[in-house]
Chains A and B, each alone.
Chain A
Amino acid sequence: NAGVTQTPKFRVLKTGQSMTLLCAQDMNHEYMYWYRQDPGMGLRLIHYSVGEGTTAKGEVPDGYNVSRLKKQNFLLGLESAAPSQTSVYFCASNRELGTDTQYFGPGTRLTVL
């Protein structure tokens, strides 16, 4: 049981390039989330999904797109990367509503030059 995994662990992009971050969970969780962590800002919610085929905007969705084609995967896309998107990205998932806690992946460190 790997829990929540993220691919890649590190990436360096040039301004304007695109990329996709992959999050996978093997716990059959319904809910999945993408956060970014910046110094002095804590974790901020980018997008989330309440089930396969659904997505919704979080606090800071601009510049990102997401897709949840399969229940176990949640993809975060950057169509045209900007230096402001340099951050550490965390994916999380949880099983159900109520008091179920979120389980986090190990993070992806992205640098945009």
Chain B
Amino acid sequence: DQQVKQNSPSLSVQEGRISILNCDYTNSMFDYFLWYKKYPAEGPTFLISISSIKDKNEDGRFTVFLNKSAKHLSLHIVPSQPGDSAVYFCAASADYGGATNKLIFGTGTLLAVQP
């Protein structure tokens, strides 16, 4: 049972436009959400996170929105750049301040930004 879902395996956008990556979750106990970015042949790197007490967090060109009632979060990248082309993983935790820091990852979305 996939608790964190990224229903779009891939997304293609033009350079300079907005990229919107979506993530849905089923576990209402999740209280912390993260986005990781992964280039080929490299490990994932942390991008941005949001706590369940917030509905928005912004860091430069990256903004994450959280809609708890819909169990949905999204990552907005504005403006998109060719270097943003990568796989983006959504992750969630029900115990981030607790004993284990365990993360549940989505299946990833491959973003291609066309010059």
Contact = CB atoms under 8 A, between A and B. Distances in A.
Tell me, yes or no, whether A binds B: yes
Interface of A: 4, 31, 35, 40-45, 48, 50, 56, 58-59, 90, 92, 94, 97-107
A107 B100 CA distance: 22
Interface of B: 2, 4, 6, 32, 34, 36, 41-46, 49, 51, 89, 91, 96-108
Contact of A102 (B42, B103, B104): B103
Given A48-B100, A103-B46, A107-B42, 7 more contacts: A42-B106, A50-B100, A97-B99, A98-B96, A98-B97, A101-B46, A105-B43
Contacts of A40: 107
The 9 A-B pairs with the shortest beta carbon distances in the complex, nearest first, are A104-B43, A101-B46, A42-B105, A43-B105, A42-B107, A104-B44, A106-B43, A105-B43, A42-B106
A100 B34 CA distance: 11
A107 B41 contact: yes
Contact of A90 (B4, B43, B97, B99): B43
A70 B36 CA distance: 28
Contact of B97 (A42, A44, A97): A97
A13 to B, nearest CB: 20
Nearest to A58: B102
Contacts of A92: 43
B103 A99 contact: no
A59 B105 CA distance: 11
B49 A99 contact: yes
A43 B51 CA distance: 21
Given A97-B99, A98-B97, A44 B43 contact: no
Contacts of A100: 101
B103 A45 contact: yes
Given A101-B46, A106-B41, A41 B97 contact: no
Contacts of A99: 32, 49, 51, 96-97
Given A4-B43, A97-B97, A45 B102 contact: yes
Contacts of A106: 41-43
